[in-house]
């Protein structure tokens, strides 16, 4: 068979061109801005420098992939927490349904606030009160029944201000940070004071974090087989410690068994997790999200006062939503 040398040369040139172009495109993707919704500044550069250093085998601060652990709080860190915790919103209708069976609720907080629609009280509900509501309103039912109720809420309920599904009121810059870390072989975990079972229902869809990588507060369950069907029944008792404040490091050690090298939070409930991350542990980085943008989200410091003070002592990076976030949500919130 006669071979056309000129045609062969053309084919080789085309193949080389495609190969070179593909490598350039790949290099542009790799070297592109990993955090496009963050404004340029010290905090953004600190994050990028940290991640690039610990993932560069030639860097003295290099850390092997199996030790690249990052923990994120959820409420107020990955998604909004105002005007009230989203899980509390989920439980409110259930309280009203059950109220006739519990007349004492009309004089007992936080149930009194729910029944009277006391928005000022509910806006400042504590993690412990949230868990009490979740425990009382969803105990006695099967895990499957709970999941069906929660999924219906997450698929239909909308935020009262932004008119978006609650599961869409997520901070775009934090999603980018999660993706950046995941692409750099970090193992990303949620470490929240909120209910474990509730967060697991949307963590994979929302954050690309598998259910087994969620650490949260939880209640006891019993295991039963009924009519040849296995099920878990939710019991009115919390498993200690609650995953808040000093409970966070305890549960991180219990469920991960390794110290995080990056921790992200937004409140006094995250102090111990961030201390645990940075004390006697280098390289490490802790980020504290500060809600100071009343135009695009909310402005508040209540419940974060101590964390803001300790940030100076421990060199935690305070992320200003107003200054550091070019965009807050995937939708326009202004």
Rg (CA), the chain: 24
What is residue 35's DSSP assignment? -
Residues 6+ apart with CB under 8 A from 268: 245, 303, 304, 305, 306, 307
**Would you state the pLDDT for residue 29?**
43
- The phi, psi pair for 129, rounded to 5°, reads -70, -40
Digit-by-digit pLDDT tens for the chain (334 residues) are 444 545 444 443 333 333 333 333 333 344 499 999 999 999 999 999 999 999 999 999 999 999 999 999 999 999 999 999 999 899 887 898 889 999 999 999 999 999 998 988 988 888 889 888 888 889 999 999 999 999 999 999 999 999 999 999 999 999 999 999 999 999 999 999 999 999 999 999 999 999 999 999 999 999 999 899 999 999 999 999 999 999 999 999 999 999 999 999 999 999 999 999 999 999 999 999 999 999 999 999 999 999 999 999 999 999 999 999 999 999 987 6
**Would you state the pLDDT for residue 19?**
38
Q: How far apart are CA 76 and CA 125, in angstroms?
A: 13
pLDDT digits (tens, 9 = 90+) for 9-61: 444 333 333 333 333 333 334 449 999 999 999 999 999 999 999 999 999 99
Alpha helices in the chain (DSSP H): 5-31, 42-54, 86-98, 111-115, 119-123, 127-138, 143-156, 172-183, 196-200, 203-207, 247-255, 271-278, 305-314, 321-324
**Which burial class, exposed, middle or buried, applies to 167 when counting CB atoms under 10 A from its CB (0-12, 13-18, 19+)?**
middle
**Would you state the pLDDT for residue 334?**
65
pLDDT digits (tens, 9 = 90+) for 137-156: 899 999 999 999 999 999 99
Helices 271-278/305-314 angle, 10° precision = 10
Distances 23 to 12, 26, 31, 106, 265 between C-alpha atoms, Å: 17, 5, 12, 67, 38
**Which burial class, exposed, middle or buried, applies to 93 when counting CB atoms under 10 A from its CB (0-12, 13-18, 19+)?**
middle
Closest CA to 67 of 277, 275, 251, 279: 277
3-class DSSP assignment, residue 215? strand
Do 241 and 233 meet the contact criterion of CB atoms below 8 Å apart?
no
Do 222 and 243 meet the contact criterion of CB atoms below 8 Å apart?
no
Query: For residue 221, what is the enclosing H or E element?
Result: strand 219-226
Domains assigned to the chain: 38-80+170-324 (3.40.50.1000)
């Amino acid at each position: 068979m006669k071979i056309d040398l000129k045609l062969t040369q053309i084919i080789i040139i085309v193949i080389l061109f495609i190969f070179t172009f593909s490598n350039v495109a790949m290099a542009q993707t790799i070297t592109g801005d990993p955090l496009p919704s963050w404004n340029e500044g010290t905090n953004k550069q600190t994050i990028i420098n940290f991640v690039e250093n610990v993932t560069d085998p030639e860097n003295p601060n290099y850390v092997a992939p199996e030790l690249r652990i990052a923990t994120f709080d959820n409420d107020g860190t990955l998604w909004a927490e105002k005007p009230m915790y989203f899980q509390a919103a989920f439980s409110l209708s259930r309280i009203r349904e059950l109220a006739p069976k519990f007349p004492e609720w009309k004089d007992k907080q936080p149930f009194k606030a729910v029944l009277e629609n006391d928005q000022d009280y509910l806006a400042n509900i504590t993690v412990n009160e949230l868990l009490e509501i979740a425990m009382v309103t969803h105990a006695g039912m099967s895990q499957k029944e709970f999941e069906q109720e929660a999924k219906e809420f997450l698929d239909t309920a909308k935020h009262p201000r932004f008119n978006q599904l609650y599961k869409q009121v997520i901070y775009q810059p934090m999603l980018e940070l999660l993706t950046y870390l995941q692409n750099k072989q970090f193992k990303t975990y949620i470490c929240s004071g909120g209910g474990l079972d509730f967060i697991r229902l949307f963590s994979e869809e929302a954050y690309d974090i598998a259910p087994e990588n969620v650490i949260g507060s939880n209640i006891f369950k019993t295991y039963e087989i009924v009519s040849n069907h296995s099920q878990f029944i939710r019991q009115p008792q919390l498993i200690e410690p609650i995953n808040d404040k000093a409970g966070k490091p305890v549960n991180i050690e219990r469920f991960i068994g390794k110290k995080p090298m990056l921790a992200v939070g937004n409140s006094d409930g995250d102090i111990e997790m961030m201390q645990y991350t940075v004390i006697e542990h280098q390289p490490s980085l802790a980020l504290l999200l500060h809600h100071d943008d009343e135009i695009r989200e909310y402005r508040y410091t209540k419940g974060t006062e101590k964390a803001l003070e300790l940030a100076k002592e421990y060199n935690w990076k305070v992320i200003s939503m107003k200054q550091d976030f070019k965009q807050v949500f995937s939708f326009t919130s202004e």
